[in-house]
């Protein structure tokens, strides 16, 4: 079934016409309502009337995470606060959150996009879906929840954690679909196996995303659980989950192109690259009211095709992600920048700015160890002192990153100094 055949199967000419109209309207809306964008466009000498359609998009300046940081918290909002019905947030590069706001129309559009994605995974109103992404400021939980409700499915809002309860309910309720990160689903498959529940589940589909994963990992999930697993992509700045998803062909992720105009650029020259070539994905939100973004640089590396898919959809497809062009890590679904650790440690008098983050994956759960070098003035062998300082740093890190980390105190000068660009991360995770 194609959830919204009219929008998902329109001809390239019809799609471009729609995108042209929406872009012209958007640019005027943004210029009139967001001072920051107005100044940015004035600086480049672009006026809304210069934008007559998608062919003029390259005249517009890019937007980056720094723009969101510089205008923290609400500076890029285009709608009045009285029209914003929800806020979400994710990590910024320097510890300040990236805040996004949604009008009711934005929430409706978002739900429509997620419903389309779930439908690509074969989920219908007859399904029972467990949403096991985190609920809260992260867009995963509520985004998947509203999309599943829009589809008319029965939603079980599990959130993350408590895997035993989740697996028991999966069996008791006869859940037929699940939405969670791929690494968490692998972990759940182990819990199901250990509890002897694998043969008792009714699961048929999974909608997994929020972190990079490989085809191999998808096959592993499918085999262990005897289901089909689909790749859903999104980012809070643009909306949340549901920007793109793969259909039963698994031949790339269909973008909800009527709402998000994609470009692929060379991350160094910032020039567009041809279809099929890898580059950085850039999105313009064509209808968003709360926080519309023009040419937002996602930092995600992929390639695009505009060929019609065997499933019948005509929307542009992006290939599985090949990484990011910045240093953002995704640990247990949470975005983490090494610079956040640095900013947090600066406030701890007893330590030096030398640290190393070691990321691992055990039983399909991510772990983070942070090795922190203690200042010689404070270095002690006394266990009580070590415990106290470790606890203090763990608290500082937890509140800065939003996830817990194991802290290992290191003696003065024990961490390797690098001669070139400092290396602060060892990521031992094999995606599979």
Residues contributing to the site for ligand DLL (CB under 6 A): 90, 133, 138-140, 209-212, 231-236, 240-241, 298, 300, 321, 324, 330, 335
Residue nearest to ligand DLL (CB): 209
Closer residue to ligand DLL (CB): 29 or 77: 77
DSSP helix/strand/coil, 277: coil
User: Quick one: 51 or 236, whose CB is closer to ligand DLL?
Assistant: 236
Q: What percent of the residues of the chain are helix, what percent strand, and what percent coil, each to the nearest 5?
A: 35, 25, 40
Pick 29 or 233: Cβ nearer ligand DLL: 233
β-pairing, 296-302 vs 279-285, is: antiparallel
6 prior amide bond cis, ω within 30: no
Dist CA 122 CA 201 (whole Å)? 17
Following DSSP, what letter does each residue of 213-257 receive, concatenated? --HHHHHHHHHHHTSEEEEEEEETTTTEEEEEEE-TT-SSEEE-T
Quick check: 367 and 359 in contact, CB under 8 A?
Answer: yes
Provide the minimum distance between the beta carbon of 238 and ligand DLL in the complex, in angstroms, as a whole number: 8
**325 Cβ partners below 8 Å, 6+ apart?**
267, 280, 299, 301
Least distance to ligand DLL, CB of residue 151, Å: 16
Tokens of 340: 């956040």
Q: How far apart are CA 354 and CA 78, in angstroms?
A: 41
User: In this complex, which beta carbon is closest to ligand DLL, that of residue 139 or of residue 159?
Assistant: 139
* Cα dihedral 156/212/252/128 (nearest 10): -10
In the bound state with ligand DLL, the residue whose beta carbon lies nearer, of 122 and 333, is 333
State the nearest-atom distance from the C-beta of 245 to ligand DLL, in Å: 8
How far apart are the C-alpha atoms of 262 and 363, rounded to whole Å? 36
The minimum distance between CB 132 and ligand DLL, in angstroms, equals 10
Q: How far is the CB of 357 from ligand DLL (least distance, A)?
A: 17
Sign of the Cα pseudo-torsion (362, 367, 372, 378, in order)? negative
Q: Are 175 and 128 in contact (CB under 8 A)?
A: yes
Query: How far apart are the C-alpha atoms of 398 and 322, rounded to whole Å?
Result: 29
Can you name the residues that pair with 328 across neighbouring β-strands? none
**Least distance from C-beta 31 to ligand DLL, angstroms?**
26
User: Which residue, 150 or 354, has its beta carbon nearer to ligand DLL?
Assistant: 150
Shortest Å distance, C-beta 12 to ligand DLL = 25
- Residue 88 CB, nearest approach to ligand DLL (Å): 8
By beta-carbon proximity to ligand DLL, the closer residue of 120 and 330 is 330
Count CB neighbours of 154 within 10 A.
Answer: 17
Q: Which is nearer to ligand DLL, 79 or 334 (CB)?
A: 334
Report the alpha-carbon distance of residue 265 to residue 194 in Å, rounded: 46
Angle between helices 35-44 and 12-33 (to 10 degrees): 110
Minimum CB distance to ligand DLL, residue 43 (Å):
27
Shortest distance, position 7 Cβ to ligand DLL, whole Å: 20
């Amino acid at each position: 079934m194609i959830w919204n055949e009219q929008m998902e199967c329109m001809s390239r000419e019809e799609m471009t016409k729609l995108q042209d109209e929406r872009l012209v309207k958007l640019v005027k809306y943004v210029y009139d309502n967001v001072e920051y964008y107005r100044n940015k466009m004035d600086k480049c000498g672009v006026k809304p009337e210069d934008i007559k359609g998608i062919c003029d998009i390259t005249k517009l300046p890019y937007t980056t995470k720094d723009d969101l940081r510089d205008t923290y918290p609400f500076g890029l909002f285009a709608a009045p606060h009285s029209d914003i019905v929800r806020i979400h947030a994710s990590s910024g590069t320097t510890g300040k959150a990236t805040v996004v706001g949604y009008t009711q129309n934005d929430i409706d559009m978002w739900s429509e996009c997620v419903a389309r994605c779930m439908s690509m995974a074969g989920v219908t109103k007859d399904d029972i879906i467990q949403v096991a992404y985190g609920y809260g400021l992260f867009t995963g939980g509520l985004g998947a929840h509203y999309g599943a409700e829009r589809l008319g499915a029965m939603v079980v809002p599990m959130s993350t954690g408590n895997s035993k309860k989740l697996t028991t309910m999966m069996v008791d309720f006869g859940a037929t679909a699940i939405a969670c990160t791929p690494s968490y689903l692998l972990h759940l498959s182990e819990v199901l196996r250990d509890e002897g529940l694998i043969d008792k589940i009714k699961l048929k589909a999974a909608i997994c995303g929020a972190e990079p994963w490989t085809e191999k990992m998808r096959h592993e999930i499918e085999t262990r659980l005897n289901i089909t697993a689909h790749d859903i992509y999104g980012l809070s700045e643009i909306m949340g989950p549901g920007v793109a998803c793969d259909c039963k062909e698994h031949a790339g992720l269909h973008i909800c192109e009527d709402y998000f105009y994609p470009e692929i650029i060379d991350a160094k020259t910032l020039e567009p690259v041809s279809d099929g070539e890898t580059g950085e994905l850039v999105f313009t939100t064509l209808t968003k009211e709360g926080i519309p973004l023009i040419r937002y640089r996602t930092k995600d590396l992929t390639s695009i095709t505009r060929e019609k898919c065997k499933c019948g959809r005509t929307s542009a497809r992006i290939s599985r992600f090949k990484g990011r062009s910045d240093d953002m890590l995704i640990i247990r679904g949470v975005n983490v920048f090494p610079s956040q650790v640095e900013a947090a440690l600066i406030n701890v008098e007893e330590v030096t700015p030398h640290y190393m983050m070691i990321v691992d994956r055990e039983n399909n759960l991510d772990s983070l160890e942070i090795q922190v070098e203690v200042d010689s003035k404070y270095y002690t062998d006394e266990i009580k002192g070590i415990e106290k300082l470790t606890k203090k740093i763990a608290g500082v890190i937890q509140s800065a990153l939003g996830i817990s980390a194991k802290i290992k105190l290191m003696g003065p000068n024990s961490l390797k100094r690098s001669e070139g660009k400092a290396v602060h991360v060892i990521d031992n995770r094999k995606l599979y």
